[in-house]
Amino acid sequence: MYDLVIRRARLADDRLVDLAVQDGKIVDVGQLADDVSAGRQLDLAGNCRLSAGWIDSHVHCYPSSPIYYDEPDLVGVASGVTSVVDAGSTGTDDVDEFYALTRRAKTNVFAFLNISRIGLLRQNELADLADIDPPTVKKSIDAYPGFIIGIKARMSSSVVGQNGIVPLVRAKQIQQENNRLPLMVHIGNNPPNLDDIADLLTRGDIITHCYNGKPNRILTPAGTLRESIQRALKRGVLLDVGHGTASFNFDVARQAIGLGILPHTISSDIYCRNRMAGPVHSLATVMSKFFSIGLSLPQVIACVTENAASALNLTHKGRLEPGYDADFTLFDLRQGPQVFADSEGQSVGGEQLLVPLAAVVAGEILLTDEGKAHHVFDL
């Protein structure tokens, strides 16, 4: 007998499948026999969509942060998101506390460790190079394998002060000394110039805020892709959305996608303020914006499942295959007029909205508020 069987789940490509779960893992996917038994059975009857659990690869959910803070489960399972990656809220000074509190969360929580020991204690955490201490970074990474899955460097003028590109050079050195963990690089206002940043990046590095509308963006004034970004993409550098309060522009995103420059991952850069007041609201809202600028449902879902898992080296997440973690997101794709806002006050109309109904984490079903009222869960 299985722990959980889900029947007739509708995938992003409209196929209907059954899934069986045992001990927090997927054990079967396809068409299950009618007489299969389970501790709990959920028949979606094709009325609810299911994907591998959504992974938000850029959030801020360290509650003690004085700048960008939230609760892991509010940006996670309450929003249909099974895994979140805090992107640099903590450095070596406070990662111990952050790790301890995440053990109480229903959401899978991972972290990009800020290369500055102070994390986001203040906005200019890389203005003092003395706060970058590679041996201490290594000590924290070694202490929390499986939790610290990468490092973060925010490379914009307000963060680095007079240090220019030097913090990124230090970050690459730290990366080399720590088994080439993924490096996420925030881009914003220059200096340093984006060309200098991009030319230092190598395969698997992640540029977040890739569709920001600031002058230091991936597109030239003529609307073509910067040559430095072209070179970086050819080397295997990845693009992450990282929407946030000030880092997503519809025009830039539309132009880039029109050039074939698609995001590898869609992430929210969510924290309490932009969750409650917008323009982010949730990962589902950010995902929904991409229907209006050229992506299909399968493409959007791939950005928060298999693509995210690959970029973050989460080798047992992101796919609906036997042996993978039984993390699923159940959702509805609602049709009807929508209005979406970017980070610069521009609005775009849409016709589709993703509505999360439940997060399933290691086989445990956790309904969202919408899910509690949805008829498919009347068991």
Identify which of 269, 206, 311, 275 has the alpha carbon closest to the alpha carbon of residue 59: 269
What Å distances lie between residue 99 and 30, 76, 140, 142, 337, CA to CA? 37, 16, 11, 13, 41
Judge contact between 252 and 213, C-beta under 8 A.
yes
| 152 annotated to a ligand binding site | yes
Please report how many Cα atoms fall inside a 13 Å half-sphere around the Cα of residue 299, on the Cβ side.
15
Where are any strands of DSSP class E within the chain? 2-10, 16-22, 25-30, 38-43, 49-52, 54-59, 81-87, 108-114, 148-155, 183-187, 206-208, 238-240, 328-341, 347-361, 364-367
Sign of CA dihedral 347, 258, 183, 309: positive
Phi then psi for residue 109, to 5 deg, are -115, 130
At 182, list the tokens. 């993924």
Alpha-carbon span 125 to 128, nearest angstrom = 7
At 185, list the tokens. 């690089």
| 186 annotated to a ligand binding site | yes
Judge contact between 96 and 133, C-beta under 8 A.
no
Query: Which residues are CB-contacts of 116 (< 8 A; sequence separation ≥ 6)?
Result: 91, 125, 126, 131, 132
| 240 annotated to a ligand binding site | no
| Residue type, position 215, single letter | P
Compute the C-alpha angle 362/366/371, nearest 5°. 140
| 209 annotated to a ligand binding site | yes
Identify which of 231, 248, 325, 236 has the alpha carbon closest to the alpha carbon of residue 285: 248
Judge contact between 218 and 92, C-beta under 8 A.
no
| 60 annotated to a ligand binding site | yes
Judge contact between 208 and 185, C-beta under 8 A.
yes
Block residue for tokens 């920001």? 212
Residue numbers in the known binding site are 58, 60, 152, 186, 209, 269
- Binding site for Zn(2+), by residue number, is 58, 60, 152, 186, 209, 269
